Chain A
Amino acid sequence: MAVLTTARDAAEGPGAAGRPRAADAGRRRRRLRDDLLAYAFLAAGLLCFAFFSWYPLARGVVLSFQQVNFVTDPTFVGLDNFRALVADPLFWTAWKNTLVFTGLALVLGYLVPLALAILLNELRHVAGFFRVAVYLPVMLPPIVVVLLWKYLYDPGNGLFNTLLRGAHLPESQWTQSSSTAMISLVLVSTWANLGGATLMYLAALQNVPGELYEAAELDGAGVRQRLRHVTLPHLRFIMLVLLLLQIISTMQVFIEPYQLTGTTNPDTVTVMVLIYRYAFTVNNDFGLAAAASVVLFVVLGVFSALYLRLTRRAD
């Protein structure tokens, strides 16, 4: 302890050494009290994280090497769960589907909010209304969104096919056909989530100094040039951050395929749906589900690390 105290005193600079000892001790006590108080407040949060995030996380990793029935003691099975995982063709199908979903979600969900944000930023009238309108779907509970779209997609009496029929256009099977199932799911997720991304872009856009546009205009730059040379360079950072965030969140897509196409449709089984299927609806195998979760965790970990590095550098 003595060493530490000295170290702290040293850290507080040359002036500290010359002060009377009693005042010094009092100050230390006060600081200690403040620190303890801070830790006490922090403890609640840390405990919550420890019990509800870190412990389950560690337990999940352990579980991926075990076979459990929750009655007898778990048996360690080494890499058996991971071997079973890579031997399951559905595991690869699920990864393929997840990547397709992520890819499609990026094409739609990444560019559409950007375009919307730029448009909204340019609006001079009723801008407030449109901003609220774009953000509104984010406020709906995801399950409500999915059930709403279930009705829209209904191949019999759904809204989309009714409209198509009215316009004498060919109808679609939407979520029921393997060629349109995935894109149908992406549409739901994009509609539900684009408000958040749009809002972030909009905030970044409003930070672009107006003088830059004025200067560009004076130099004879058209709309496209202003967009390319003023707007986009200012948005580059937020675009990169959102790209990573979106990859991380879309790779965990669950509720759309789970509700609209179920856990047994190979055209739309994603990694999260497969994990759920392993644990709860088909295999009742928690070790296998944990192994699949660990794989997903590692993949998402890479993207999260990239994100952290990026934002830290920006700080």
Chain B
Amino acid sequence: MRPMTRTRLRRALGVLLVAGVALAATGCGSDEDQSADGTVTITVNGLPPATEAANHQRFLDNVAEFERQNPDIRIDAREGKMDPQTFAAKLAGGQLEDVFYVYFTDPANLIAKRQVADISAYVKDFPVVDQIRPEVRRVFSDDAGKLYGLPYKNYSMGLLYSRPLFTKAGLDPDKPPTTWAEVRTAAQKIAALGGGTVGFGEYSKSNTGGWHFTTHMYSRGGEVAVNEGGTWKAAFNNDTGRQVLTQLKEMRWTDDSMGARQSLEWADLLQLMGAGKLGMYLATADNIPTIVNQYKGDFADYGLGPIPDGRGTLGGGEGYMFNAKASPEKIRAGLKWLTFWFTSADRFEAENKWAAEHKLPVGLPEPQIFTGPAAQTQAAADKTYANVPQQNYAPFVAAMGSIPVKLEPPNAQQVYAALDVAMLKVLTDRDANVDQLLADAEKQVNTILSTVR
């Protein structure tokens, strides 16, 4: 390097350094948990977007009322829910909310990675937490029983079907199929209507295939993973697994009742249902309002039956967890807020009244996150303000008590990704070898499960 260039370089670095220091200095801020007057401010997400004007305002009204009742707590409400693609960046950048929204698929992973705060020590001051159904509470707990969050809504899978297509195909819309054999027959009849009508829809992309394969396994009394003496092992390479894949393969290729378009992911089937082109698919009750609102469906058109075969079903839902860096004051304030609105039996009356006035759905068969008196308060409030055709969900509700709701396997997303392949292949390859697919998936899932501690 020539001397002249070196001087220039040195000067350039000098300028850079000065600018860098200036930037770093402006980047420094203060992050105190409690202000001088003792007020705690917590950031909370899940504020509905401003485009959903009524829901957005309702959330803010609730915040205002809560702050009136708790003058020492300020709530900084933010839009956005759980997005795995930005979660890590928010966490790393210190931008994650103190109390943040999650789906039931998230807690296990977040707990294992120690990315959430343990709230066990604080919940004793909030008695309503004891009335949360144990299987729902377990979603937010670790193996030692420590609690990391609270549920807000829960759902379990059933068979969502199109009542008009049932009628057209000569099926009774009040008697949905209750076994997999009946589903197959019904799907054939619906697909025979022609015009691109799909009898039974199924997923096979972006982990949703593995997620539904798990539901199929549970429905037939099977498992996806079992814990044998402290080690997790894949449990689907057996007759039950073969039945699941073989039936889907036959429905797709022999009966041609599942449509040519495959490699579908979550929104695809809701869209197809909204368009009136899909007979049945496995779904939770909360799909119904989404189909109605986003895909221009009509509440009257959808029925919900129990999961076929009914030997078990997969549960899902939503809730809130706490930032691992949240102070005790913030955790307490967050719990106060959640038990004030989200996880609160007392609010059902007011919330349902408001929802009914704003033409939002009340009276879907779920959520049911409480047992005991809290559950009764909710049931009464639902009954008073129900505005969805509850009789359409009667078959589902009637079977609800007798079908065990099961949780997801450990490392669910990785397991689902591996099982996606088996689902994709039986639905897109006429010559797919079911035994080989199960054996391949088993090998992969065992590798994934071997990392579970």
Contact = CB atoms under 8 A, between A and B. Distances in A.
Contact of A264 (B92, B209, B261): B209
Contacts of A173: 428
Interface string B1-23: 01110111001100110011001
Nearest to B414: A282
Contacts of A209: none
A269 B352 CA distance: 46
A149 interface: no
B109 A277 contact: no
Interface string B182-211: 000000000000001000000001110110
B91 interface: yes
Contact of B12 (A42, A175, A176, A178): A42
A11 B6 CA distance: 14
Given A281-B85, A282-B413, A176 B428 contact: yes
Nearest to A265: B424
Contact of A71 (B16, B91, B210, B420): B91
Contact of B19 (A43, A177, A280): A43
Interface string A257-289: 000011111100000000001011111101000
A4 interface: yes
A8 interface: yes
A161 B196 CA distance: 14
Given A4-B3, A7-B3, A177-B429, A277 B417 contact: yes
Given A3-B3, A265-B263, A282-B414, A156 B196 contact: yes
Most A-side CB within 10 Å, residue of B11, B92, B420, B428? B428
Contacts of A42: 12
Contacts of A154: 261
A36 interface: yes
Nearest to A8: B4
Nearest to A3: B3
Chain B contact residues, majority secondary structure: helix
Given A175-B263, A177-B429, A282-B417, A264 B206 contact: yes
A123 interface: no
Interface in A27-69: 35-36, 39-40, 42-43, 46-47, 50, 68-69
Given A72-B114, A177-B429, A35 B417 contact: no
Most A-side CB within 10 Å, residue of B3, B12, B263? B263
B134 to A, nearest CB: 27
A7 B4 contact: yes
A154 B6 CA distance: 61
A39 B114 CA distance: 45
A177 B429 CA distance: 7
Interface of B: 2-4, 6-8, 11-12, 15-16, 19-20, 23, 84-85, 88, 91-92, 109, 113-115, 196, 205-207, 209-210, 259-263, 265, 324-325, 413-414, 416-417, 420-421, 424, 428-429
Interface of A: 3-4, 7-8, 11, 35-36, 39-40, 42-43, 46-47, 50, 68-72, 154-157, 161, 173, 175-178, 261-266, 277, 279-284, 286
Given A71-B114, A71-B324, A265-B205, 18 more contacts: A4-B7, A39-B8, A70-B91, A71-B115, A71-B325, A155-B261, A157-B196, A173-B428, A178-B429, A262-B265, A264-B205, A264-B207, A277-B417, A281-B206, A282-B414, A282-B417, A284-B84, A284-B88
25 contacts: A7-B4, A35-B8, A39-B11, A39-B15, A47-B19, A47-B23, A71-B114, A71-B115, A71-B324, A71-B325, A156-B259, A156-B260, A176-B262, A262-B205, A262-B263, A262-B265, A263-B417, A264-B206, A264-B207, A264-B424, A280-B88, A281-B207, A282-B413, A282-B417, A283-B413
